[in-house]
């Protein structure tokens, strides 16, 4: 173990970069130490069943939490599958696993069942890990822990630097991880991403405990681990960048047809949809409603680099949209469930708008006192729903039940209920 790793093992909380103060932490003036090599070197990539079986046995025999990370090829490939999985555990060292060569890692997931998994921004990696059979039963999210503890910057590099005093090299975060073979500098970067994750977890646990927030964090982690897979997004084409420019239903139909055509092509070719056709080009075609291939080719995004056959398939999508009956055209907006947009409250229900204003002010002040982002204290959607349809009788019990009914954790209910009772009671008293 190098001097750098000796220092990491003593994970007293530093205050570099505006981290929360700590009575026993290192000096904020200490220069961070570049972390250049994994402590046991770069491990070979596991790409066959024999090597995977050895790794599973080693990690099952290890001790303590296991650091887990995954690399995707966002912007290069279709979907969000994992192209490299990194793990580190005391007694097992670091493993780099190729989930293309070893697509079923359920045996590894089973071996780590009941073990606490340490991830950074867990909700980003859990979907792709789930697809290869890795689902944690317990986890610790170092990014979320940093938010709850009040750190102003919660990226992994910023957290490792401010908490542990080391600089991680982050130059390969956006590379094409589907590349094979993976270059050695990328593998070094990937191994270093889990090198200090458990050290970071231990230091953040101490800080959360010092602030009286550890139980809050554990409730949040339990909620992430027990959450079911998200439902497929309804009408994903509506998230096309620049959609706010598209007003008419016929134009919306063009966006839908072009988006769905692009998605089919991207899936078949296993490339990012943006590499097939940009969002800006889809919106431009929807606004122009080109009459033929020649008119389409004159639009931005459909220029000389687009071949005749491609132009014809895009124009065919436009023509399909233009040929739809009025009943087949999409509606301007998605069906709204729950309260209307807050900007409409003043006209629809001025009393509810006043309740929301008071509640937002109260939640903001409480979040500031607790030194955490408002959205981690309570989701804005939950506040809106309670303010739009408050309990018939506003008291601590009814407001707490309403919050819990919308999915708030018990610590959130405990903290936010008094604020909402005050906001709802004050504004209800003004109702006509």
- 222-267 pLDDT per residue, tens: 999 999 988 888 999 999 999 999 999 999 999 999 999 999 999 9
Contact 369, 213 (CB under 8 A): no
How confident is the model at residue 24, as a pLDDT?
Answer: 39
Instruction: Give the distance between the most distant pair of CA atoms in the chain.
Output: 74
Q: What is the mean pLDDT of the chain?
A: 91
The alpha carbon of residue 312 and the mean position of all alpha carbons in its chain are separated, in whole angstroms, by 37
Q: 341: which 2 tokens?
A: 């947009």
pLDDT at 114 > cutoff 80:
yes
Residue 412 is inside which H or E element, if any?
Answer: helix 410-428
The Cα 418–Cα 416 span in angstroms is 6
**Mean of the pLDDT values across residues 357-371?**
97
Query: Model confidence at 312, in pLDDT bands (50, 70, 90)?
Result: very high
Residue closest to 225 by CA, chosen among 298, 125, 332: 125
Q: What is the mean pLDDT of residues 79-100?
A: 97
pLDDT in tens, 46-77: 999 999 999 999 999 999 999 999 999 999 99
What average pLDDT does range 288-293 have in this prediction? Answer: 96
For 292, the token pair is 């033929």
CB count, 10 Å around CB of 38? 21
Which pLDDT score is estimated for 30?
77
Element (H, E) at 351: helix 350-370
Is the pLDDT at 338 greater than 90? The verdict is no
Is the CB of residue 48 less than 8 Å from the CB of residue 58? no
**Looking at residue 429, what is its pLDDT?**
44
State pTM to two decimals. 0.89
Alpha-carbon distances, residue 217 vs 26, 138, 145, 220 (angstroms): 24, 12, 6, 5
Cα 280 to Cα 107: distance, rounded to the nearest angstrom: 44
Q: Does residue 113 carry a pLDDT above 50?
A: yes
Q: Is the pLDDT of residue 160 over 70?
A: yes
Q: Distance between CA 188 and CA 389 in Å, rounded?
A: 53
């Amino acid at each position: 173990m190098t001097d750098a790793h000796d220092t990491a093992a003593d994970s007293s909380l530093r205050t570099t970069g505006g981290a929360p103060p700590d009575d026993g932490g290192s000096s904020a003036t200490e220069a961070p130490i570049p972390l250049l090599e994994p402590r046991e070197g770069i491990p070979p990539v596991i790409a066959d069943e024999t090597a995977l079986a050895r790794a599973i046995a080693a990690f099952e025999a290890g001790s303590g939490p296991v650091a887990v990370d995954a690399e995707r090829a966002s912007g290069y490939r279709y979907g969000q599958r994992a192209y490299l999985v990194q793990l580190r555990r005391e007694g097992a060292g670091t493993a780099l696993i190729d989930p293309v060569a070893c697509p079923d890692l359920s045996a590894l997931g089973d071996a780590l069942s009941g073990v606490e998994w340490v991830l950074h921004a867990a909700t980003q990696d859990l979907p792709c890990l789930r697809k290869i059979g890795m689902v944690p039963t317990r986890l610790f999210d170092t990014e979320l822990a940093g938010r709850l503890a009040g750190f102003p910057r919660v990226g992994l590099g910023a957290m490792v630097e401010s908490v542990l005093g080391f600089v991680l090299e982050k130059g390969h975060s956006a590379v094409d991880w589907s590349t094979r073979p993976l270059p050695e500098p990328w593998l070094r970067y990937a191994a270093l991403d889990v090198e200090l994750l458990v050290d970071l977890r231990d230091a953040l646990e101490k800080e959360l405990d010092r602030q009286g927030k550890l139980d809050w964090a554990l409730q949040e982690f339990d909620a992430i681990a027990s959450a079911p897979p998200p439902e497929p997004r309804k009408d994903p084409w509506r998230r096309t960048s620049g959609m706010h420019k598209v007003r008419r239903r016929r134009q919306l139909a063009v966006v839908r047809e072009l988006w769905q055509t692009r998605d089919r092509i991207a899936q078949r070719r296993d490339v990012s949809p943006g590499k097939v056709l940009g969002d800006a080009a889809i919106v431009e075609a929807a606004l122009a409603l080109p009459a033929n291939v020649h008119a389409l080719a004159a639009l931005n995004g459909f220029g000389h680099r687009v071949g005749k056959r491609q132009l014809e398939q895009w124009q065919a999508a436009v023509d399909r949209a233009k040929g739809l009956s009025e009943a087949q055209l999409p509606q301007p907006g998605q069906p709204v469930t729950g309260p209307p947009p807050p900007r409409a409250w003043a006209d629809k229900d001025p009393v509810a708008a006043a309740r929301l204003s008071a509640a937002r002010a109260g939640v903001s002040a409480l979040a500031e006192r607790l030194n955490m982002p408002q959205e981690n204290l309570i989701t804005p959607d939950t506040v809106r729903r309670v303010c739009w349809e408050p309990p018939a009788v506003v008291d601590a019990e009814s407001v707490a039940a309403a919050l819990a009914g919308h999915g708030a954790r018990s610590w959130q209910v405990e903290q936010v209920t008094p604020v909402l009772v005050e906001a709802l009671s004050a504004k209800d008293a003004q109702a006509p």
